Amino acid sequence: MDNREIFEELTTLARQPAIWFVARNLYGQQASQRPNNSRRLLRVLAETDNDLTAGAIADILAIRPASVTQIIKKLENNAYIQRVKDESDARIVRVRITSEGRKQLQVLDNKQTDFQTELFDIFDDTEREQFGKSLHRLNEHVMSDEYLNNMRSKMDKHLQHHFDHFVDATRIQKLRKNQKSYLKRMQEHQLRSFFDRDDHEKF
């Protein structure tokens, strides 16, 4: 299979209506391709042993505090989370995932798992591993500064302007950075809460 055939297979796969429709609904992505922050918030609360403030959530998810407030209200209305007062300072409000919220997250996870299993069931373990590594390598290459700059250099100024607007390399770099720092931010807030708890216990 030559490069042209591989590219045609990739673009055909990306346009498959069944995959696009199901992925859009299961992963909560709209036409704008923005992540489902409601689900991400539930995931954050489920993964930490600490109740988090809205400010901490905004920091972990790298979104605006105003957006966090809207998401909290929506999830609270569905009984997926609850607001609780800080045990040491009643002025501080923290957010906690409820049992209903954990059930909803599990339902979403199960649906995703079923979808992924059906999609990749044609591969054995070795083929799946190699396919995943190849796709990851390709994505890293396509998002690299070297590749983007090389593509851009082959365009005239008019196309370069549209390319910059469409690709928005700054946003891509920011997204990549946010993905890598997500765990670090989670650990920082867990550690901070741990020390806060120690201080409260001393008093």
Q: Tens digit of pLDDT per residue, the chain (203 long)?
A: 899 999 899 889 888 888 878 877 776 554 444 567 888 899 999 988 778 999 999 888 888 889 999 999 999 999 999 999 988 888 899 999 999 999 999 998 898 899 899 999 999 999 999 999 999 999 889 888 899 889 999 999 889 888 888 887 555 555 556 656 666 777 777 656 554 544 433 32
> Model confidence over 77-112: pLDDT tens digits?
999 999 999 888 888 999 999 999 999 999 988 988
| Assigned token pair, 200 | 């409260």
Tell whether pTM > 0.85: no
Q: Which residue bears the tokens 């700054």?
A: 170
| Assigned token pair, 13 | 């796969």
CA gap 24, 17 in Å, rounded: 10
In CATH, what number does 13-102+184-196 get? 1.10.10.10
CA gap 46, 69 in Å, rounded: 18
Q: Can you give the residue ranges of every domain in the chain? A: 13-102+184-196
**Residue 83 near residue 92 (C-beta atoms within 8 A):** no
